[in-house]
Amino acid sequence: MLFPERLHQFTKEHADAVAALVCGLFLLCGWLALHLGFLGWALLLLPIAYVIGGYESAREGLTTLITEKELDVDLLMIVAALGAAGLGLWRREYYLIIDGAILILIFAISGALEGYAMRRTERSIRSLMSLTQDTARVVRRGNQEVIPIKQLQVGDEIIVKPGELIPTDAVIVEGYSTLNQAAITGESLPVEKTVGDEVFAGTLNGYGALKLKLHQPPESSLIQRVIRLVQQAQTETPPSQQFIERFERGYARVIVIAGVLLLILPPFLWNWDWETAIYRALTFLVVASPCALMAAIMPTLLSGIANGARQGILFKNGAQLEMIGKVRAIAFDKTGTLTTGLLEVCEVIPTSDYTKADVLKAAASVESRSEHPLGLAIVKASKNLDWKAATEVQAFPGQGIVGIIDNQEVIAGKDDFVKKYVADLPKNLIEIATNLELQGKTVVWIAEKRWGERFHPTIPLPEHQVLGIIAIADTVRSQAAGTISRLKKLGIEQIVMLTGDNQQTAESVARELGVDRVYAELLPEDKLHVIRRLQQEYKTVAMVGDGINDAPALAQASVGIAMGAAGSDVALETADIVLMADRLEKIEVAIRLGKRTQEIVKQNITIALGFIILLLIGNFLGEINLPIGVVGHEGSTVLVTLSGLRLLKN
């Protein structure tokens, strides 16, 4: 791409920021020209700053005035700035034009930040769309054709090869495979699917080829519903935002009406001359402008955001920095958030005749020939042991695997599968295995059978012997329990866990971590409904997640928090806060930072309103002139800005 094209694309994507930057440059040049005595240049450059920086605010303010018959802060700032400029020209106090330009620059910067926040929805939807297939391989008239998804019809048969994404929701009519559904349902283990089972668009097919039959239109698929839910949740204006908008418009209306009354009534009530009335009215517009109020909030929030960034906490907008300090309930996704999302061998229990190493080596010898996630976990746990791969390996999907190693047959699989080879399983291991499964762990049984002369017709074959069992689970994050405990001490009233996993596994993890409430076997839309119910009960609710299936809940929550390193693209785009290092304990840091931000914002607002009230009283009594009013106004702005910068300290 050529430089002019890149420049055009950049200015198009960042138009608000570019306008604020150019406004600032013209303001600086105009100030220098005025300071050096080049009045003509100053009067040329400063109006350009007004036009470039104030265009968007003026347009929005006039649009609101015309279409909604409402005054807002955008229009008030433009009126105040133009009033300062007009007064400066009238009285030849040209520095007042600078003050007006500064007011416009502040609002231009604010508008740029708001623009970036508004584009977040579009990015999140694009991320979701990237997870959907554009085409599908369809069987028609005995031949395979690749056609666009939108051309699929109910009843079409679709072929999905190993390692491919499922293109749309459908039902398996032929084949067997394991599907990784973590991105959609949040299940930690790949799910075995066979004829008659439903599969979801966006899930990853394992080792088996599948033939699917489309049973509903592609636009009704689960991933498409997730997209619509994200759109809906992110476009809903929260009550706090509605209150701020009403306050801004009410404030602007009161100030404008008061300014007009101050211009008209004093000549009749107190015999002011018209020049004094106009002077006081324009001074009123300057000192009453909400610049100090805006500075009371944004510098504080930006300082808090910078503080969080240094500690690995990315706040996507300042409003969420305030909001997280008000959180009363937190919902955690389980897989990849409270747990690592990685399967690991957590226990090996041998029978009395064998050691743990014997069990692991036998299991690894056959599982090394398998691509099943459970097998990969066993092989990983056996990496420091001396074993060799089995031969004549035969896998039985959904049951187990059998192979030959050093003239002995090794069996690994479920208890029902191993029972086909072993007459009686050890009772003590059955009891242990049952307890492990109640804890949400997957148990793999290992057995072997030795030969004297292999297949010798006169030598009877001894029965298989059980070597032991291996428990595999998605391990809980080491810092999860401590984080939850500290959050409760911090005042969080309810800790909730949401997961697509089964109820038994979920409750086991919840007991280990001290979670108050568990919701299991959830689809993405179910998580969204849970968040809404929690918001009805606790008002301000945070959601912590990492997967695509968490996106609607992250968007709906008062504060969405995504795990950075492990999180999917759509979760990172949808969330308001990202924990860049996947450290759960940073949630406590973020909440403390949010609470501190609230305190400083309240202090700053009190200071700003106090100055405005004092300046308004002084102006009405005639005790201050415009330069003093500007000094007081700008001084209060500087004061609250410096106050907000306190958050830069840890």
Q: Distance between CA atoms of 465 and 350, rounded to whole angstroms?
A: 11
Element (H, E) at 412: strand 408-413
Q: Distance between CA atoms of 636 and 612, rounded to whole angstroms?
A: 8
550 is catalytic: no
Cβ atoms of 221 and 203 within 8 Å: the answer is no
Q: How many CA atoms lie within 13 A of 592 on its CB side?
A: 14
For 400, residues 6+ apart whose C-beta sits below 8 A from its C-beta are: 411, 412, 413, 414, 417, 418, 445
Q: Distance between CA atoms of 394 and 470, rounded to whole angstroms?
A: 20
φ/ψ of residue 509, rounded to 5: -65, -40
Tell me which residue of 461, 452, 529, 516 sits closest to 488, measured CA to CA.
Answer: 516
Cβ atoms of 245 and 238 within 8 Å: the answer is no
For 1, residues 6+ apart whose C-beta sits below 8 A from its C-beta are: 9
Q: Supply 251's token pair.
A: 């404030």
Cβ atoms of 485 and 512 within 8 Å: the answer is no
Calculated CA dihedral for residues 117, 122, 125, 127, nearest 10 degrees:
-80
Instruction: Give the active site residue among 74, 99, 156, 333.
Output: 333
Element (H, E) at 178: strand 177-180
Burial of 197 (0-12, 13-18, 19+ CB in 10 A): middle
Q: Distance between CA atoms of 268 and 52, rounded to whole angstroms?
A: 40
- Which residues are catalytic, by number? 333
